[in-house]
Chains A and B, each alone.
Chain A
Amino acid sequence: MKITIVGAGAIGSVLGAYLIWEGKDVEFVDINADHIKDMKERGLEIRAFEGPFRVAVKAFTPEQYILENETIECLFLCVKIQHIKEALEPLLPLMKEHSFVVLTQNGFCETNIAKLVGDGKTLSSFVSIGADYLEPGLVHYGWKGLLTVGEINEEISPRLKKLEKEMSSLDIFQTTNNIMGYKWLMIAYEAIIAAASLSHDMVVDIIENPRYQEMLANLCTEVLELANSIGIEFNEIEFDNFNALHIYPREARDCQKMQMMLNSHANLIRTSTKVRSGIWRDIVVRKIKSEVTYCFEPVFRLAEKEEIKMPMCHAMLDIFSDIEDGKRKVSIENLEELLQKDIITYSR
């Protein structure tokens, strides 16, 4: 099976490089012509937690790809959520009856994609691998993580089985029949990461700080409550020792167990060489728009429909927008402000 990776950023590069390493037929497509040229000329270097390696790659701009290819079989869409449309649209002529797209974004874009590529052509996935795009041709892969793929209708379909077989040499790959559970848990976790990214501290230090743990749990709970209201099951799911069991529902939460869970998660990810979040890197270092706002937008819309209030998530996103608009600086003060708000909101 030919695999087309659209978007050669952090996640796309790591996924593609490992597949190439395993001898798979992989092609990269990216709209950044300079990046494509660089990768073609000198390959793609992955500074992985387990040691660096370099692979030669086949890389194309969308225009080149359409000229040189007839069909797409399996497409991994690895662009940021806000760039999906522009990345996918030029490639649509290559999509045939059995082609399918695997989404890797945090956040919900399944409906929009279906409108673009047609019903039944998308699989969704949950990505917990931690990687940073550093410069053309160079990506840092700091946290091994998992790539979990499932059908949107939660069925174990023949194409999912075929994909599993194709990816069997990749030990981070797994399939699931509850991808939406994973995705919602990830969005809840994203609230923690986004909050931590309001400061210059390492993510793991924030997660482990008892001062903020209850607030972080409350942020997560708001997302999980919404998920629960639309019938999502997430209690059986965990990644990197992180789960919803001791976080949700808030009223029944055993605070000590919640802290133990967060600490054990922190303990695990402390070994990562990626100590700062992609979100932090986007706003502080790369000075580009992070996907947080886009990621929470459909969540907030759904919450309004379901009449569920998410005061803390809104407060966090407001601070976030202020930072992105240059009205506020990244600082631990932001977390303190959020903490005060949390204490008032959930009167503790």
Chain B
Amino acid sequence: MRITVVGIGAIGSVIGAYLARGGRDVEFVDTNVEHVDAVNERGLEIREQRKDKGAITFIAKARAYTPEQFIAKDETIECILLCVKAQYTKVALKQLLPLMNEESFVVSIQNGITEFDIAEVVGKKRTVCGFVNIGADYIEPGLVHFGTKGPVAAGEWDGSYSLRIQRLEKEMLPVDMFKISNNPMGYVWAKVAYSAITVATTLTNETVAVTIAKPRYHEMMANLVAETLKVAVHEGVDLTGTAFDKFDPELVYPRESRERGKMLEMMVDHASIMRGTTKVHSGTWRDIVVRKKRTESHDHFRPIFELANKACIQMPMCHILIDMLGEIEDGKRYFSDDNLEELLQKDLEIYPR
């Protein structure tokens, strides 16, 4: 089966490079012409840093195309691993749609709940749900840093072990962090709910691990996550067994009945896992500070806010958080620990301890 990786930023590059190194029939599509040229000319360099097992670098060779070149090639697509940022989901798929047939399918390897957007363009039948929790940075054309080796998973909406899922599992063998999930949407929601914590760490100049390790903010972080999880549960999502990096959504939600002691203990465990990662800053922080572009967090939370509105679920803390992020992006607010303190005050008002 030929795999078309669409979007070779940080995540797409890592997964695509693993596939190429494993001898799979893989091709890349990306709008960044310089990056595409670099990959074709000199390969894709992946610097993998693992704290305990030492670090390695390898150069993967595979053909890369701009969307225009790819469409001109006019070959039917079998399987798309969609690795573009949430906000580009529809744009990316719309131009590739003419190359898809009934059998073709799209696997979402993205942050955020993009499955609904994908289904809107290619149909629910051709959509495979997925999530990704690896930490990687696009550095420059042809070079990507891979810091945290977390899970990448995909599965059918209903969790069934379909024929195409079995084929996908086989093709993805070279990507050792990939696995098939029988509850992908549970993970997708857990991940996007968790992303509120990442966004909160972005408000300061501190590294992610340092902020997460501060017990002062643990209850506030749990409250942020619980707001999204409430929407998920309302949507009929099953959160059982969706923990990652020792972060367990079931200890966070529902807020009213959670065991505070267990939740705080879990946050400490999670913080110690995060200390072990080799990625110092979040992608969100890098987007603002280094790459100077708009983060995708707004697009992650927009569909959630919409669903919450419909269900009359209040998400006050997440709204405040995303607004603060927007102010930073617009240059109206600066990175500082004060932002977290402000958020904490709001949290104490909204959810009195």
Contacts and interface: CB of A to CB of B under 8 A. Distances in A.
Interface of A: 41-43, 45, 47, 49, 51-54, 134-138, 140, 142, 200, 202, 271-276, 284-285, 330
Given A272-B57, A273-B55, 18 more contacts: A42-B289, A49-B54, A49-B55, A52-B49, A52-B280, A135-B139, A135-B140, A140-B145, A142-B47, A142-B57, A200-B41, A200-B42, A271-B56, A273-B48, A274-B57, A275-B58, A285-B141, A285-B143
B43 A200 contact: yes
Contacts of B147: 52
Contacts of B278: 47, 51-52
B134 interface: no
B143 to A, nearest CB: 7
Interface in B264-298: 278-281, 289-290
Contacts of B94: none
B42 A273 contact: no
Interface of B: 41-43, 45, 47-49, 51, 54-59, 139-143, 145, 147, 205, 207, 278-281, 289-290, 335
Given A51-B49, A52-B49, A275-B57, A41 B205 contact: yes
Nearest to B279: A52
A274 B141 CA distance: 16
A330 B141 CA distance: 16
Nearest to B276: A51
A200 to B, nearest CB: 4
A52 B278 CA distance: 6
A142 B139 CA distance: 15
Given A54-B280, A285-B142, A273 B57 contact: yes
Closest 6 CB pairs of A and B: A200-B42, A273-B55, A273-B57, A275-B57, A51-B51, A52-B280
B222 to A, nearest CB: 27
Contacts of A138: 290
29 contacts: A41-B205, A43-B205, A45-B280, A45-B281, A47-B49, A47-B278, A49-B49, A51-B51, A52-B49, A54-B280, A134-B139, A134-B140, A135-B139, A135-B140, A135-B290, A136-B290, A140-B145, A200-B41, A200-B42, A200-B43, A202-B59, A271-B54, A273-B48, A275-B45, A275-B58, A276-B45, A284-B42, A285-B140, A285-B142
B272 to A, nearest CB: 15
A273 B59 CA distance: 11
Nearest to B52: A51
A13 to B, nearest CB: 15
Contacts of A41: 205
B145 A47 contact: yes
Q: Which of A134, A142, A271 has the most CB of B within 10 A?
A: A134
A135 B141 CA distance: 13
Contacts of B279: 52
A9 to B, nearest CB: 15
Contacts of A134: 139-140
A42 B55 CA distance: 25
Nearest to B47: A273
A41 B336 CA distance: 11
B55 A275 contact: no
Contacts of A49: 49, 54-55
Contacts of B205: 41-43
Nearest to B140: A285
A145 B140 CA distance: 25
Contacts of B139: 134-135
A136 B140 CA distance: 13
A42 B48 CA distance: 24
B9 to A, nearest CB: 15
Contact of A273 (B51, B56, B141, B207): B56
Contacts of A42: 205, 289, 335
Contacts of A271: 54, 56
Nearest to A45: B280
Contacts of B335: 42
Contacts of B56: 271, 273
Contacts of B54: 49, 271
A338 to B, nearest CB: 19
Contacts of B49: 47, 49, 51-52, 273
Nearest to A51: B51
Nearest to A280: B42
Nearest to A276: B45
Contacts of B51: 51
A43 to B, nearest CB: 8
B207 A54 contact: yes
A314 B273 CA distance: 54
A326 to B, nearest CB: 15
Contacts of B142: 285
Contacts of A273: 47-49, 55-57
Q: Which of A43, A45, A52, A134 has the most CB of B within 10 A?
A: A52
B289 to A, nearest CB: 7
A284 B289 CA distance: 25
Contacts of A136: 290
B95 to A, nearest CB: 29
Contacts of B207: 54
Contacts of B47: 47, 140, 142, 273
Contacts of B141: 285
A50 to B, nearest CB: 8
B341 to A, nearest CB: 19
Contacts of A202: 59
A47 B207 CA distance: 13
Nearest to A136: B290
Contacts of A135: 139-140, 290
Contacts of A284: 42
A241 to B, nearest CB: 19
Q: Which of A273, A284, A330 has the most CB of B within 10 A?
A: A273
A47 B54 CA distance: 13
Contacts of A47: 47, 49, 145, 278
